[in-house]
Amino acid sequence: YAMLLSLIFLIVLVAAIVGFVFRHEIKTNFESNLNLALRDYNVTADRHSEAVDTIQRTLHCCGVQNYSDWERTEYFSQRGIPRSCCKSQNDCSEEDLKDPNKAKLKVFVDGCFFLVTSTMESKMSVVAGISFGIACFQLIGIILSCCLSRYITNNQYEMV
């Protein structure tokens, strides 16, 4: 049992170190994937389009850097900016979303990349604290299982 807990502890420790060391690559990768999701965005319910809509609705943002990122997509030429960018769903018409000047007043102008990364960085202290707590419990489990193993080994002749 101690070996299993030690293995899990080492895997979590390596994952944390790799995540910390490669955090800039993770950001770059996220930005390029968000750009790809915008480029391939469509109204059919695929996972990437739903993820973009959820991010934009939840964080009150639009596009990668700003709302004008949508102007370079095929979706914009057909339907304009997606409705998930609208500040108010009742006040957003399709004509307004096709005109970038009118859309600027009706949609969120901030980009999602900065908001997502800043939200993740602000929550990292909570994640680190929870991870540290779990690691402490794992270490206590490892120590107690080693003590139990030693106790059983030392007293094996007294057992009935």
Q: pLDDT (tens digit, 9 = 90+) per residue, 42-98?
A: 856 678 888 888 999 999 999 999 988 898 888 888 888 888 899 888 888 888 888
Asked whether residue 59 is assigned to any structural domain, the reply reads: yes
The amino acid occupying position 129 is G
The overall average pLDDT reported for the chain is 85
Asked whether residue 91 is assigned to any structural domain, the reply reads: yes
- Fill in the DSSP letter of residue 2: H
Q: Tell whether the model's pLDDT for residue 8 goes beyond 70.
A: yes
Q: Tell whether the model's pLDDT for residue 156 goes beyond 80.
A: no
What does the pLDDT average to over 24-52? 84
Asked whether residue 35 is assigned to any structural domain, the reply reads: yes
Query: What is the distance between the alpha carbons of residues 83 and 95, in angstroms, rounded to a whole number?
Result: 12
The reported pLDDT for the residue numbered 65 is 92
Asked whether residue 78 is assigned to any structural domain, the reply reads: yes
Asked whether residue 23 is assigned to any structural domain, the reply reads: yes
Region of poorest pLDDT, from 34-38, 63-67, 148-152, 155-159: 155-159
Asked whether residue 160 is assigned to any structural domain, the reply reads: no
DSSP assignment of 31-86 equals HHHHHHHHHT--SS--HHHHHHHHHHHHHT--SSSBGGGGGGSHHHHHH-S-GGGB
The reported pLDDT for the residue numbered 139 is 92
Q: Is the overall model pTM greater than 0.85, yes or no?
A: no
Asked whether residue 159 is assigned to any structural domain, the reply reads: no
Query: What is the distance between the alpha carbons of residues 120 and 35, in angstroms, rounded to a whole number?
Result: 18
Provide the domain limits for residue 45: 1-154
CATH number at residue 117: 1.10.1450.10
Asked whether residue 126 is assigned to any structural domain, the reply reads: yes
Q: Tell whether the model's pLDDT for residue 33 goes beyond 60.
A: yes
Query: What is the distance between the alpha carbons of residues 110 and 92, in angstroms, rounded to a whole number?
Result: 17
Q: pLDDT (tens digit, 9 = 90+) per residue, 94-142?
A: 888 888 888 888 899 899 999 888 888 888 778 878 888 888 899 999 9
Count the domains in the chain.
Answer: 1
